[in-house]
Amino acid sequence: MSVHQPLSAGTLPIGAANHGTSFAFWPWLKFAWLNTLRNRRRSAVTVTIAALGTAAILLAGGFALYTYQGLAQSSARSTGHLIIGKPEQFSKDEDTPLQHGLDNVAALRAKLLVDDRVRQVLPKIEFSGLISNGDKSTVMMAAGIDPDAEFAVKGPFLKIHAGQVLASGETLRVMLGEGLARSLKATPGSSLTLLASTTDGALNALDVTVAGVFSTGISDIDKRLVYTDIATAQKLLVTQRVSSLGVFLDRMESTEPTQARLRGALPQLEVRTWIDQASFYRSVKELYNRIFGALGLIIGVIVVFVVTNAMAMAIIERTREIGTLRAVGTLPSQLVRGFALEGLLLGGAGALVGALIALGVAIALLVFPVQMPPPPGRNVGYPLQVAIDAPLYLGTLAAMVLLATIASALVARRTVNKPIVDALAHV
């Protein structure tokens, strides 16, 4: 038999190792493919398990990425891509309301809007106090906002249950969280009283009218949250300051470059990104990274064991064949690479099928929406979606192929290095 011709339709080509012939990739890949077809049932089971493992990793990773993206957009929309305030505003507690607030807000906003990446600058006043209907008083967590700009930039970030949203120019009006409105038996048009400490430490009260009732989707927040306009909040606190400025940019990717520019332009102020204020986002990302990282590791180990088992059985069945190939001059390294190519084909086919399954499921969820139940602490659900991320797909496919190839090569090494006489005598 001449060099590089197969012993049979499914065996490896014989290499002329003694003559220094190099490893020819494509002929060996062809024979690796033929060898995987020698036991089609076993190969099909191996490919199926690799496909299911790949699909599971991609779907879990895609769900995590979609969750990260949704939380990131929600956090940035809530606070602004950048938050500007005095350094003490972020590092120290206030003795009186707005002790570390910003002055000359109009001039500062005008300066910030000069930047091409800045879409809008929204002032915000955060304060606490009491809210009363005359018979009952309860603690409130209030925010003074610029209504028209706030809703124009953020979009419908609140679900309105009754009444209407605030409008610029209308003072002495408030919006209540659903739980707070229920506690005070307040409806649109009801009169309430706000009580808070002024910037001088004195108590001040202000009569307001309920404009609307809303829900944020988080019941604990809805029991305390009150929105009013900037002018009403400043009148109650007897000040012209604001707590901070939320800077909204043209896109998420502009956050860090714009932060660097604004830090240089405003050295006396602190410029923070949305992620610095998004503790919930950071907690969820850390938790999901651990959960899905462990899941991916477990699935990867399962796939490696399945491929290893399949290749071990194939190698045992072909021990005498390996001895024959060794006897006619095929190098052990060539045989190892041939079996590695079989693992590559099995792992690659499984990874590709798994990627197609994951892609199909992700698209199907867009066409046929599935609603998830409310997570702990919330009272509204969210759509189940899976992100289609090219780096995730490419990285997972590459990892699966690499693991299968390495596992096959390691399993083959021991048998191909077996003495030729022992291999030929194998039963």
Domain limits, the chain: 17-71+282-424, 87-268
Q: Of 209-213, 365-369, 376-380, 414-418, which gets the smallest average pLDDT?
A: 376-380
**Band of the pLDDT at 12, cuts 50, 70, 90?**
very low
CA distance 361 to 350: 16
108-167: pLDDT as tens digits: 999 999 989 999 999 999 999 999 998 999 999 999 998 888 887 776 667 888 999 888
For residue 17, the model assigns a pLDDT of 41
**What is the mean pLDDT of the segment spanning 280-286?**
89
CA distance 343 to 168: 67
For residue 157, the model assigns a pLDDT of 65
223-236: pLDDT as tens digits: 999 999 999 999 99
- Residue 58 Cα distances to 61, 62, 358, 416, angstroms: 5, 6, 6, 36
Write down the pTM of the prediction. 0.79
For residue 391, the model assigns a pLDDT of 94
Dihedral (CA of 339, 345, 348, 351) sign: negative
For residue 380, the model assigns a pLDDT of 74
Q: How many residues does the chain have?
A: 427
Rg over CA atoms, the chain? 33
Specify which residues 226 forms β-bridges with: 142, 176
Please give the share of the chain, as a percent, with pLDDT higher than 90: 44
74-125: pLDDT as tens digits: 888 888 999 999 999 888 888 888 988 999 898 999 999 998 999 999 999 9
For residue 231, the model assigns a pLDDT of 93
**What is the mean pLDDT of the segment spanning 385-399?**
93
